[in-house]
């Protein structure tokens, strides 16, 4: 190396070190500033927000927050208020939202499964819950009515444990904490394309002085430290499916994991659940077939969704889902499994 170049390189090294040190000090100062700000201005928890919501007067249209309660289980985080009955603003469409004494949609159920009755438990988010439609119009309520007509020798009860915004972690935690107590013979899990997202509400204060994470990195990658992902991502979805498979083996019920609308995300989620040994099926092609037969070129611009800015299924689509799901349950022999289990003849789940 020429002498002049060597001298130039030798002179640059201290400057690079000085610039690098200054950058590190600056980042540490910004990190400290964010932590101080967050300690002085903590983000409100869901409980804080609910406490500040104006009371819901009789006859008034409420907000989604009016229907929520905080759950002490951090994997569940929140749920619907028990025995709730009010009209709620669901996006563009106000609709009546009712819950039973357990805090789920549907009629009142006895805790103990009636003798000689088969029980199906549904886990999901706002789609299965029936965002924007009446409780009796949800596809699980329609499924129960159809099974009652078609299976008089073994009555079926279909329990809807879905809650808007839930992801697989919350759904399986709900099954473990509440659902197994209802004695299900079959568990249905309705996956949707945003199920890899984390829990959407914070229910515990964020510690601004935790050494386990950088609030600056959170701010750069997620917009704000308050949006910390909890129980989100593909790994969390796999953990939930693995836990569900474990529950299936422990309790002996069967499981059907499915999606209603196909997307790359739902296909990946179904692949994960299949890899964990769970029966996984895609009902998206059935919806596409319905749209072709009905001459509807765009599902999202049809009467089968609630509106142009709300893609949740309308009551008409819930009816199609019920028909497709019933056919799937019959073709997979899952209804026969439930009947045999009630009679004491079903083989144990492996």
The whole-number pLDDT of residue 22 equals 79
Whether the per-residue pLDDT at 349 is higher than 80: the answer is: no
Whether the per-residue pLDDT at 334 is higher than 90: the answer is: yes
Q: How confident is the model at residue 221 (pLDDT cuts 50, 70, 90)?
A: low
Of 214-218, 297-301, 318-322, the poorest mean pLDDT is in 214-218
List all residues 6 or more positions away from 177 whose beta carbon is below 8 Å from its beta carbon: 73, 76
Residue 95 sits at φ, ψ, to 5 deg, of -150, 155
Of 102-111, 158-167, 205-214, the poorest mean pLDDT is in 205-214
Higher pLDDT, 246 or 228: 246
Answer yes or no: CATH 3.40.50.740 is held by domain 113-343.
no
The whole-number pLDDT of residue 228 equals 47
Could you give the count of Cα atoms lying within 13 Å of 151 in the half-sphere of its Cβ? Answer: 22
Tell me the CA distances in angstroms from 257 to 37, 228, 248, one per residue in order: 44, 28, 12
Of 19-33, 134-148, 308-322, the poorest mean pLDDT is in 19-33
Residue 51 sits at φ, ψ, to 5 deg, of -65, -25
Question: pTM for this structure?
Answer: 0.85
Q: Which of 72, 173, 157, 147 is nearest to 112 (CA)?
A: 157
How far apart are alpha carbons 72 and 171 in whole angstroms?
Answer: 15
Both tokens of residue 265?
A: 């995300």
The whole-number pLDDT of residue 58 equals 83
The whole-number pLDDT of residue 38 equals 64
Higher pLDDT, 221 or 112: 112
Label residue 58 left, alpha or beta by phi (over 0 means left) and psi (-120 to 50 means alpha): beta
Residue 26 sits at φ, ψ, to 5 deg, of -65, -45
Rg over CA atoms, the chain: 25
Residues 237 and 168 sit within 8 Å (Cβ to Cβ): yes
The whole-number pLDDT of residue 322 equals 98
- Work out whether the CA dihedral 163, 332, 111, 170 comes out positive or negative: negative
How far apart are alpha carbons 203 and 225 in whole angstroms?
Answer: 14
Burial status of residue 201 (CB atoms within 10 A of its CB: 0-12, 13-18, 19 or more): middle
Tell me the CA distances in angstroms from 205 to 22, 42, 202, 217, one per residue in order: 33, 7, 7, 19
Residue 96's CB is within 10 A of a number of other CB atoms, namely: 11
DSSP string, 53-74: SPP--TT-EE-GGGGEEE-SST
Both tokens of residue 11?
A: 């002179």
The whole-number pLDDT of residue 227 equals 39
The whole-number pLDDT of residue 171 equals 98
Mean pLDDT of 254-267: 97
Q: What is the mean pLDDT of the chain?
A: 88
pLDDT tens per residue, range 41-98: 667 788 888 888 888 888 889 999 999 999 999 999 999 999 999 999 987 778 999 9
Of 18-32, 167-181, 195-209, 249-263, the poorest mean pLDDT is in 18-32
Whether the per-residue pLDDT at 201 is higher than 60: the answer is: yes
């Amino acid at each position: 190396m020429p002498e002049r170049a060597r001298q130039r390189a030798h002179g640059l090294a201290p400057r690079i070190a000085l610039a690098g040190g200054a950058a590190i000090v600056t980042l540490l100062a910004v990190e400290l500033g964010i932590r101080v700000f967050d300690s002085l201005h903590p983000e409100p928890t869901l409980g804080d927000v609910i406490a500040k919501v104006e009371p819901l007067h009789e006859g008034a249209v409420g907000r989604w927050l009016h229907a929520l309660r905080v759950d002490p289980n951090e994997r569940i985080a929140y749920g619907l208020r028990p025995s709730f009955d009010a009209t709620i603003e669901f996006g563009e469409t106000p609709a009546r939202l009712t819950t039973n004494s357990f805090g789920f949609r549907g009629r009142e159920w006895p805790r103990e499964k009636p003798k000689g009755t088969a029980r199906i438990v549904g886990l999901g988010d706002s789609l299965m819950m029936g965002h924007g439609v009446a409780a009796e119009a949800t596809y699980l309520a329609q499924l129960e009515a159809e099974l009652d007509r078609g299976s008089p020798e073994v009555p079926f009860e279909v329990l809807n444990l879905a809650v808007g915004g839930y992801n697989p972690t919350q759904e399986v935690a709900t099954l473990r904490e509440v659902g197994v107590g209802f004695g299900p013979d079959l568990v249905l899990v309705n996956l949707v394309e945003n199920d890899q997202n984390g829990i959407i509400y914070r229910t515990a204060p964020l510690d601004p002085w935790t050494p386990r994470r950088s609030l600056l990195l959170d701010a750069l990658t997620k917009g704000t430290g308050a949006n910390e992902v909890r129980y989100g991502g593909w790994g969390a979805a796999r953990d939930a499916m693995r836990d569900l498979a474990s529950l299936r083996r422990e309790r002996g019920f069967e499981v059907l994991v499915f999606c209603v609308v196909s997307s790359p995300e739902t296909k990946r989620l179904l692949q994960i659940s299949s890899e964990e040994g769970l029966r996984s099926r895609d009902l998206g092609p059935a919806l596409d077939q319905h749209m072709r037969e009905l001459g509807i070129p765009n599902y999202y611009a049809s009467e089968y969704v609630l509106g142009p800015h709300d893609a949740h299924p309308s009551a008409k689509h819930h009816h199609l889902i019920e028909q497709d799901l019933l056919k799937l349950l019959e073709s997979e022999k899952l209804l026969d499994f439930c009947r045999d289990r009630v009679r004491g003849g079903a083989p144990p789940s492996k």
